[in-house]
Amino acid sequence: MANGDACSQDLLTSLLEWCPYILALDGAYDRLRALNIAVDAVLGDFDSVRSVDAVLGDLDSVRSSDAVLGDLDSVRSSDAVLGDLDGVRSSDAVLGDLDGVRSSDAVLGDFDNVRSISPSKGAPTPAAGKPEVLFRPDPDKTDLQKGLDFLIERGHPSAHIIWASGGRSDHFLTHFSILAEYGRRITLNMIDDHCRTFLLPRVFRKWFAAGTQLSLMPMGRAEGIVTHNLVYPLHGETLEMGGRIGCSNEVATDGWVEVRYSSGALLMMEVFGQPSATLKG
């Protein structure tokens, strides 16, 4: 679950009905929590989550200031950092208005009586009903990249990415690049109310109804593209960003569509009218 525009409730419900594992990326956790949707893990640098309390609850299981996660660039009050502090005994933990705080060192007391975790050693074992917290501050990767790294590490073979479209254009375009970057290591589908987007293997074959809209979008340059059963066929052509692309093609007749290409990265965007269509195929 990324932190872009929300999809329809129907689509969200249909995907969550069978989803065995839910990973919330940073600020998406606040939104899922507001919808009373439980998640298995929350990951990011936590620059978008409103408070650590939103992630770790009342901090009963927290032992040290290391539990204050995120880069804290936007912190304005101790409540935003420390939650409601149930079970915290040290006044050092709650003093100061913290306006303008720029590092966790500025909000640490001695926390003598607070139990501890350290992000550098990974998240604590979550209490029953609470998500695993995965602090990933790497500035060279987006939260989505860090989330996919985590899923690959845990052995997940596939993932649906939702709430990843809309919002900032740079984020949206970056997500397409990430599909190309990770799509050969883990099976990915980025889904919203309009289409399903995924990286095509070198040889792709699937049954579609006549009239289904399909777009072929190269990430950089894709060469040697051959298609079967599309209204606008390709016969070994090259598609390239900044040049010819394959937007708004269409399935010619009920039956199998085949796409082959020799090099590069090629995304398919399968356009649909109803959210329920995302569950077919």
pLDDT at 109 over 80: no
Tell me the mean pLDDT in the region 45-66: 47
- In this prediction, residue 68 carries a pLDDT of 40
26 and 113 in a single domain? The answer is: yes
Instruction: Tell me the C-alpha to C-alpha distance, in Å, between residue 29 and each of 12, 35, 54, 131, 156.
Output: 15, 10, 8, 10, 20
The reply to whether 126 and 157 lie within a common domain is: yes
Let me know whether 253 and 187 are in one domain.
no
3 part of a folded domain? no
Each residue's pLDDT tens digit, 223-273: 999 999 999 999 999 999 999 999 999 999 999 999 999 999 999 999 986
**HEC per residue, 18-72:** CCCCCEEECCHHHHHHHCCCCCCEEEECCCCCCCHHHHHCCCCCCCCHHHCCCCC
Least trusted range by pLDDT, from 77-91, 198-212, 235-249: 77-91
- Which carries the bigger pLDDT value, residue 170 or residue 271? 271
Find the mean pLDDT for residues 15-25: 89
pLDDT of residue 47: 63
Sheet order of strands, 41-44 included: 23-25, 41-44, 132-135
Q: How many CB atoms lie within 10 A of CB 22?
A: 17
Instruction: Provide the b/e sequence for 27-39 (b: ≥16 CB within 10 Å).
Output: bbbbebbeeebeb
Q: How far apart, in whole angstroms, are the C-alpha atoms of residue 229 and residue 251?
A: 6
On whether the CB atoms of residues 276 and 217 are closer than 8 A, the answer is no
User: Mean pLDDT, the chain, as a whole number?
Assistant: 75
Domain boundary among 122, 156, 191: 191
The answer to whether residue 250 is domain-embedded is yes
35 vs 29: CA distance, rounded Å: 10
Give the whole-angstrom CA distance, residue 151 versus residue 145: 10
User: Has residue 149 got a pLDDT over 50?
Assistant: yes
Within-domain flag for 258: yes
The answer to whether residue 112 is domain-embedded is yes
The answer to whether residues 271 and 216 touch, using CB atoms and an 8 Å cutoff, is no
**Burial profile 171-199: b = 16 or more Cβ within 10 angstroms, e = fewer:** bbebbbebbbbbbeeeebbbbbbebbbbb
Q: What is the C-alpha separation between 201 and 206, in angstroms, rounded?
A: 12
In a domain, 222, yes or no: yes
CB contact at 8 A, 39 and 56: no
> Is there a single domain that holds both residue 216 and residue 180?
no
Residue 168 exposure: Cα atoms within 13 Å on the Cβ side: 6
* Domain end point (choices 175, 191, 207): 191
Residue 2 in domain: no
Q: Is 139 in the same domain as 208? A: no
Same domain flag for 84 and 114: yes
Judgement on whether residues 34 and 66 belong to the same structural domain of the protein: yes
254 vs 136: which has the higher pLDDT: 254
**Where does a domain end: 170, 191, 212?**
191
Residue 40's pLDDT band (boundaries 50, 70, 90)? Answer: very high
pLDDT digit string, tens, across residues 94-108: 333 333 333 333 333
The confidence score (pLDDT) of residue 49 equals 54
254 within some domain: yes
154/205 same-domain check: no
- Answer whether 0.95 is exceeded by the pTM: no
Asked if 75 and 178 sit in the same domain, the reply is yes
In the chain, % of residues over pLDDT 70: 67
Same domain, 81 and 117: yes
- Position with higher pLDDT, 196 vs 18: 196
User: Which CATH number goes with the domain that contains 271?
Assistant: 3.40.50.10240
199 and 187, same structural domain?
no
CA dist 231 and 221 (Å) reads 22
- Looking at the fold, whether 145 and 244 belong to one and the same domain comes out as no
pLDDT interval class at 208 (50, 70, 90): very high
Query: Which range of residues forms the domain containing residue 264?
Result: 195-279
pLDDT band at 20 (very low <50, low <70, confident <90, very high): confident
* Number of structural domains found in the chain: 2
